[in-house]
Structure 1
Amino acid sequence: MELTRRSFVHGTLATLFAGGLPQAWSQALDTAKVVIGFAPGGTIDVTGRRVADKLAPAFSKAAIAENRTGAGGQIAVQAVRTAAPDGSTILLTPASPLGLHPFTYKKLPYDPVADLLPVSGAAVFDYALAVGPLVPAGVKTVPDFLAWAKANPDKASFGSAGAGSAANFIGAALGKAGKVELRHIPYRGSQPAILEMIGGQLAAVVGPTGEFMGQVKAGKARLLATSGPARGKFTPDTPSYAEQGFKELAYLGWFGFYVPAKTPAEVVQRLNGAIRGALSSPDVVDSLAALYLEPYPTSPQQLASLLKTETEFWSGLVRTVGYTPEG
Structure 2
Amino acid sequence: MQITRRHLLQTTGASALLAGIGQQAFAQAALENATIVTGFAAGGTSDTICRRVAQKLQPDYAKAVVVDNRTGAGGQIAINYIKARPADGTTMLQTPTSMLTIYPHIYKKLSYDPQTDLTPVSLGCVFDFGFAVGPAVPASVKTVADFLAWAKANPTGANFGSPAAGSTPHFVGVLIGKSAGVELKHAAYRGTQPAMLDLLGGNISAVSGPIGDITQHLSTGKVRILSVSGTKRSRFAPDVPTLMEQGINMAHSEWFAFFLPPKANPELVARLNAGMKNALAQKDVIDGLGTFGLEAMSSTPAELAELIKKDTAKWGPIVKEVGFTAEA
Same fold at TM > 0.5: yes
1:279 Cα deviation after fit: 0.6
TM alignment of 1:1-327, pairs within 5 A: 1=1, 3=2, 7=4, 9-15=5-11, 19=16, 21=19, 22-23=22-23, 24-30=25-31, 31-248=33-250, 250-327=251-328
Structure 1 residues 221 and 257: alpha-carbon distance in aligned structure 2, compared to 1, 3 A threshold: same
Query: In 1, are the aligned partners of 2:41 and 2:190 still within 8 Å (CA)?
Result: no
1:122 Cα deviation after fit: 0.8
1:201 Cα deviation after fit: 4.2
- Separation in 1 of the partners of 2:181 and 2:316? 21
- Separation in 2 of the partners of 1:14 and 1:142? 37
- Unaligned 5+ runs, structure 1: none
- Separation in 2 of the partners of 1:152 and 1:182? 11
SS in 2 for 1:13: coil
Q: Return the letter of the residue paired with 1:13.
A: L
Query: In 2, are the aligned partners of 1:106 and 1:326 still within 8 Å (CA)?
Result: yes
Q: Return the letter of the residue paired with 1:153.
A: P
1:155 Cα deviation after fit: 2.6
Q: Return the letter of the residue paired with 1:119.
A: V
**1:144-175: per-residue Cα shift (whole Å, max 9, x none)?**
32233233334322222343333222111111
- Separation in 1 of the partners of 2:189 and 2:322? 19
Query: In 1, are the aligned partners of 2:144 and 2:227 still within 8 Å (CA)?
Result: yes
Query: In 2, are the aligned partners of 1:241 and 1:247 still within 8 Å (CA)?
Result: yes
Structure 1 residues 63 and 188: alpha-carbon distance in aligned structure 2, compared to 1, 3 A threshold: closer
Q: Return the letter of the residue paired with 1:12.
A: L
1:25 Cα deviation after fit: 2.6
TM-score (norm. length: structure 1): 0.89
SS in 1 for 2:217: helix
Structure 1 residues 196 and 260: alpha-carbon distance in aligned structure 2, compared to 1, 3 A threshold: closer
**1:168-207: per-residue Cα shift (whole Å, max 9, x none)?**
2211111112211222233444334333433444322111
SS in 1 for 2:28: coil
**1:207-232: per-residue Cα shift (whole Å, max 9, x none)?**
11122223323321111111122111
Structure 1 residues 27 and 192: alpha-carbon distance in aligned structure 2, compared to 1, 3 A threshold: closer
TM-score (norm. length: structure 2): 0.89
Q: Return the letter of the residue paired with 2:322.
A: V
Query: In 2, are the aligned partners of 1:68 and 1:75 still within 8 Å (CA)?
Result: yes
- Please say which of residues 189-198 and 220-229 is displaced more in the overlay: 189-198
